[in-house]
Amino acid sequence: MMKRWGVLVAAGVLALGPTATGGAQAGTESAHCPTAEIFATDNTEIITDPADPRLDTKLRHFDREVRGVIRAHGARPGPSTLLDGVFWSSRLGQATYERSREFDVARVDRDGLHHIADVLRKRYDQESVLTFRCLPRTSPDTDAVEIQADGVSATRLHDALVADPEARERLGGGSVALDGRLVLIAPLSDLPLARAFTTTLGVDWDEAEVRYGDQEFVE
């Protein structure tokens, strides 16, 4: 998963101070955030056609392999979610598509999560692997939010990203679960932009879920 994923994922009453968010407010702060999440894929090809058959993969074998890696390094794998990602490529000047999975991980600390992500990055020849550790909003390590909201399609996400130069450059992209749930991870400083962008997708911000935490692109 390339560093293009500057965005991705969320849940909570969110009311950050004006210094952190420019006064942005969200609906509900999640009480069900896993210890950590890993966003990963085994794809190494650029896909620009939403009808490309490579996007139909369920990544089942990949799912089993990643769970094995998580266990082998002392953590406990939880559920995983299949995602349709849409990411902006500045090099290509267009949006690209990717199938990936989000893996919940328990019994892991920051260093352990970094190590597992690095193992996956090397094993699947990825530029980077994204991790997200759920933390209290007030934690000094909190530097990102994960936003989740229902009722979004990958096509709508693609079109909105292409139409918004600021969002595509600063956020990079996002993902949608097969049930139509948007997953968007953004730096805490870009929360106002992420809120505005999700609104263009037809999301009711008061119904969005927001998780606070620490994101890392393990390279």
- Position 15 confidence tier, pLDDT thresholds 50, 70, 90: very low
Instruction: Give pLDDT, residue 8.
Output: 37
Note whether residue 2 is domain-resident: no
CA distance 198 to 183: 10
User: Is a pLDDT exceeding 50 seen at residue 175?
Assistant: yes
User: Is a pLDDT exceeding 80 seen at residue 5?
Assistant: no
Note whether residue 179 is domain-resident: yes
* The model's pTM: 0.86
Note whether residue 103 is domain-resident: yes
Note whether residue 5 is domain-resident: no
User: Is a pLDDT exceeding 80 seen at residue 28?
Assistant: no
Between 23 and 126, residue with greater pLDDT? 126
Note whether residue 6 is domain-resident: no
Query: What is the average per-residue pLDDT within 66-72?
Result: 98
User: Is a pLDDT exceeding 50 seen at residue 12?
Assistant: no
Mean pLDDT estimate for the chain: 88
CA distance 24 to 186: 13
Per-residue pLDDT of 119-152, as tens digits, reads 999 999 999 999 999 999 999 999 999 999 999 9
Query: What is the average per-residue pLDDT within 181-201?
Result: 96
What interhelical angle do 110-123 and 60-72 show, nearest 10? 140
Domain assignment of residue 116, given as a range:
14-218
Note whether residue 9 is domain-resident: no
CA distance 93 to 166: 14
DSSP of 140-165, one letter per residue?
A: TT--EEEEEESS--HHHHHHHHHH-H
Instruction: Give pLDDT, residue 191.
Output: 96
CA distance 188 to 43: 28
- Position 4 confidence tier, pLDDT thresholds 50, 70, 90: very low
How many domains does one find in the chain?
A: 1
Note whether residue 38 is domain-resident: yes
User: Is a pLDDT exceeding 60 seen at residue 6?
Assistant: no
Note whether residue 109 is domain-resident: yes
